């Protein structure tokens, strides 16, 4: 009886671990949708779409709480060790960043609702569209790396954060120039800056998720470690 009983417990335990992984990807899919819809709401002046994003943030928060509780139960009941414990810890950290990504998307959505009835800029927020598409792709790729437990893909995705930072800084310089040359552009420029800042923070959270993946796969905490060090020391590749 003992081997059968042990096998049953092991199978149930593996199912629980797989369940929390699946829930993370479910939460990630919802957050991706929030980013896309928030950007569309801003660019197209779509109030209902923006309000939908704001309402969806409640679902993201609920998933955050549910997954966290499941992780706590696994730690208490199963006392996971080694790679299983790393998975649970990586999940707890990842859902925190996903929840914060949702918060940033909600900020953009609220801005979209506020600006919907105002005069549209001639370029239709082209700066935000470009940066937003890059950020959305980074989040998608980070979640894909999580799904495949792919440390190399996580590192490659983390590198995108530098380009996002550069695009963000370029937008800030451009908006400051506009405000100095024509004070009438100040209100619109500030709106663009706030939206760009939210997107830049989303990029930071996506990079965090990539670092958790590397920790999960390689067993090494790479926070506060340069990408070059990670590539050379953790992943065993020459830079």
Q: Domain of 112: which CATH number?
A: 1.20.58.220
DSSP string, 18-33: HHHHHHHHHHHHHHHH
Handedness of CA 99, 28, 228, 88 (dihedral sign): positive
Coil/strand/helix, residue 161: helix
- Helices and strands, number each (H, E), in the chain: 7, 0
Domain for residue 239, yes or no? no
In tens, the pLDDT along 120-178 reads 777 778 899 999 999 999 999 999 999 999 999 999 999 999 999 999 999 999 999 99
For the whole prediction, is pTM greater than 0.85? yes
- Mean pLDDT in residue range 102-115: 95
Tokens describing residue 78: 């199963």
- Mean pLDDT in residue range 181-188: 90
Domain count, the chain: 1
In tens, the pLDDT along 215-237 reads 999 888 887 778 788 777 666 65
- Mean pLDDT in residue range 1-13: 64
- Angstrom distance (rounded) from CA 86 to CA 164: 29
Domain for residue 212, yes or no? yes
Tokens describing residue 95: 């859902």
- Which residue, among 13, 235, 53, 34, has the nearest Cα to 145 in the 3D structure? 235
For residues 51 and 113, is the Cβ–Cβ distance under 8 A? yes
Output the furthest CA–CA distance in the chain (Å, rounded): 81
Domain span at residue 110? Answer: 2-234
Domain for residue 149, yes or no? yes
Q: What pLDDT was estimated at residue 155? A: 93
Helix, strand, coil % over all residues of the chain, rounded to 5 = 85, 0, 15
Domain for residue 107, yes or no? yes
In tens, the pLDDT along 69-97 reads 999 999 999 999 888 999 999 999 999 99
For residues 20 and 124, is the Cβ–Cβ distance under 8 A? no
């Amino acid at each position: 009886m003992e081997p059968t009983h042990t096998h049953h417990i092991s199978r149930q335990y593996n199912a629980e671990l797989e369940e929390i992984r699946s829930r993370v990807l479910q939460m990630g899919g919802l957050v991706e949708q929030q980013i896309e819809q928030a950007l569309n709401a801003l660019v197209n002046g779509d109030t209902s779409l923006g309000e939908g994003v704001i309402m969806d943030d409640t679902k993201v928060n609920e998933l955050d709480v549910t997954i966290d509780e499941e992780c706590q139960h696994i730690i208490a009941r199963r006392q996971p060790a080694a790679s299983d414990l790393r998975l649970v810890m990586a999940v707890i950290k990842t859902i925190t960043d996903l929840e914060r990504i949702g918060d940033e998307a909600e900020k953009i959505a609220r801005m979209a609702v506020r600006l919907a009835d105002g005069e549209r800029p001639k370029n239709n927020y082209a700066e935000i569209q470009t940066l937003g598409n890059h950020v959305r792709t980074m989040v998608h790729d980070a979640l894909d790396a999580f799904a495949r437990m792919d440390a190399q893909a996580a590192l490659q995705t983390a590198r995108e954060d530098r380009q996002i930072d550069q695009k963000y800084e370029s937008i800030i310089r451009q908006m400051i120039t506009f405000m100095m040359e024509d004070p009438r552009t100040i209100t619109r420029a500030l709106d663009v800056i706030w939206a760009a800042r939210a997107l830049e923070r989303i990029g930071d959270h996506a990079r965090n998720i990539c670092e958790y993946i590397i920790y999960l796969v390689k067993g090494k905490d790479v926070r506060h470690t340069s990408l070059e060090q990670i590539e050379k020391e953790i992943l065993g590749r020459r830079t």
